[in-house]
Structures are given as C-alpha cells and as structure tokens.
C-alpha cells in the first residue's frame, strides 16, 4: 500500500460518522429527464444522507478487463445508449472527479489488480441517478468498474476493502437493477405496475435474504432457482447490489424504496443501509 498517497489525502480528513450506503435501481435512462415517483424518491433519499465528500459509484454500465477507477478531474458525461429523444443526449452532469481520491481508492484495493482510468467518465448508470440526488453537481464523483472476469463472490470480497470509506465521508452507491430482463419486458404494460410471477418471486426472495443478512444466497444467485435465473440473465445489473451489501455493518438498518416493477421483468427496488 502506498502510504504516501494515503497520508497526503487523509492528513486533514478526520473520521466522520458512518455514512449510509445505497443501491439504486436506475431503470430506463428516461428517468434522467422525466418526472415520476422513482425520481421523486431519489431526491427524497438525500434527506437521510449527510453531505458526502465524495460519491463512489459502481455502475452496471462499466464492465472492464480488470478493475479500474476513474482518475480524471473533469469526467465527461457519457450517453451510452441509443434510440432515445435528443433531449436525453443533451443532458450534461458536470460533477468534478478527483485523481487524489482515485489513488486513495486504488491503494485501498491494493490486494487486487486495479488501474487508474482517464478515458471513461460518468455513464448513465451514474449520472441519471446522481443528477436527481445532487443537481448542483458540486460533489466529486468517481466510478469503479466491474471486472467481468470476477465471480460474484470475488466482487463481494473486493467491496469489503472499501469499508473504511464509510467513515471518511464517502457515499458508496451501487447502480443497477436487482431484477433486469429487458428481453422479457411487456411494453404494453410498461406503466401498469405489473410484474411477471417469476420477477415478483425473485424480488421478494432477494429482499428477504437481505433482511435476514443471508448474503451467501445472494452471492450464489444462480443456485436459487428458475425465478432468479430469469431475473438475472446477465449479472452486470445485479452485481452493484453485492457491492452495497458487502459494506453492511451488523447494526445497520436496511430499508427499501422505489420497490416497484416496470414492464413485468424489471424492478426498481432500491436499498439504503444506515447506521443505527
């Protein structure tokens, strides 16, 4: 571990009260510019969070070979989608980055192969959510990538090394969707609060496992039956939730918000962990 980097960053950075941790269901990119109950709750949840010094986002939309952390001072707003109205492509979220924080986080993860990245920026998994929470874009935001070679257990274990950030004023935010099967969406019922039986079953079981702190079952999601397999056809939207849960303390209070389906096969279920 590079103690020089740690000393430089933490010299005037005393420990803070334990920060909450979030998993945010981000859903349709149009949530970035629409007004609905989901974005209202994204705004409301900030009332329960002390002002962070930094936001560290683990987004479903940044998969890489190896683990990377953004290290530029002015990250670009990435419009990583197509087929949406021009108004969505015009959105900019000019939050600063922080190379110093990026080095610190890389040092925390020294047991893993982590590299600094100066080309990515903020994808819509990050900015479409954070823009509602902190519209002034005055809090530094860094992204941590998902190494697509790692197993769910390896992702969960890597996240443990980020635990001390909770006492440095850092808001760790996983952004994805626990139930996310785009191929199965029923567009005719997109606004009907409708869920297929298997999606509803998986969402309820996931919440029960979380409340019981049965993280091993959530890590081994592929062994939890057909409902989980249909709900998680690919893992990238699910894995950010494991990063959030890995930072849970024994006495944390866990609660849900935006716990509703979209189009039958997607849930916006979001999680906040708060020190009691």
What's the predicted TM-score (pTM) here? Answer: 0.95
Q: What is the pLDDT of residues 64-97, one digit of tens each?
A: 999 999 999 999 999 999 999 999 999 999 999 9
Ramachandran bin of 193, using left for φ above 0, alpha for ψ from -120 to 50, beta for the remaining angles:
left
Q: Which two tokens stand for residue 30?
A: 């149009």
Share of the chain above pLDDT 70, in %: 96
Q: According to the model, what pLDDT value does residue 155 have?
A: 98
SS3 256: strand
| Domain locations in the chain as residue ranges | 14-274
CB 54 within 8 A of CB 139: yes
What CATH number belongs to 14-274?
3.40.830.10
Closest CA to 72 of 116, 39, 38: 116
Q: What is the pLDDT of residues 45-54, one digit of tens each?
A: 999 999 999 9
Closest CA to 53 of 4, 104, 5, 3: 104
pLDDT band per the 50, 70, 90 thresholds, residue 11:
low
CB count within 10 Å of CB 65 equals: 9
Q: What is the pLDDT of residues 215-232, one digit of tens each?
A: 999 999 999 999 999 999
């Amino acid at each position: 571990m590079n103690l020089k980097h740690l000393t430089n960053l933490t010299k005037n950075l005393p420990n803070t009260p334990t920060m909450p941790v979030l998993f945010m269901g981000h859903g349709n990119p149009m949530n970035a510019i629409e007004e609905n109950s989901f974005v209202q709750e994204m705004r409301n949840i900030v009332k329960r969070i002390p002002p962070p010094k930094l936001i560290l986002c683990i987004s479903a939309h940044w998969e890489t070979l190896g683990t990377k952390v953004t290290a530029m001072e002015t990250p670009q707003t990435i419009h990583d989608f197509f087929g949406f109205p021009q108004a969505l492509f015009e959105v900019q979220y000019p939050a600063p980055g922080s190379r110093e924080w990026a080095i610190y986080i890389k040092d925390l993860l020294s047991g893993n192969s982590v590299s600094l990245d100066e080309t990515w920026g903020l994808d819509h998994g990050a900015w479409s959510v954070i823009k509602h929470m902190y519209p002034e874009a005055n809090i530094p935001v860094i992204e941590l990538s998902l190494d697509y070679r790692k197993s769910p257990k390896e992702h969960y274990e890597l996240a443990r090394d980020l635990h001390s950030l909770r006492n440095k004023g850092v808001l760790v935010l996983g952004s994805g969707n626990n139930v996310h099967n785009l191929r199965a969406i029923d567009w005719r019922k997109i606004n009907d609060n409708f869920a297929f039986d298997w999606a509803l079953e998986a969402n309820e079981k996931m919440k029960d496992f979380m409340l019981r702190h049965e993280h091993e079952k959530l890590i081994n999601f592929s062994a939890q039956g057909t409902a989980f397999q249909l709900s998680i056809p690919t893992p990238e939207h699910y894995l950010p939730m494991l990063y959030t849960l890995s930072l849970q303390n024994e006495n944390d209070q866990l609660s849900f918000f935006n716990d509703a389906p979209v189009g039958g096969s997607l849930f916006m279920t979001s999680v906040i962990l708060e020190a009691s």
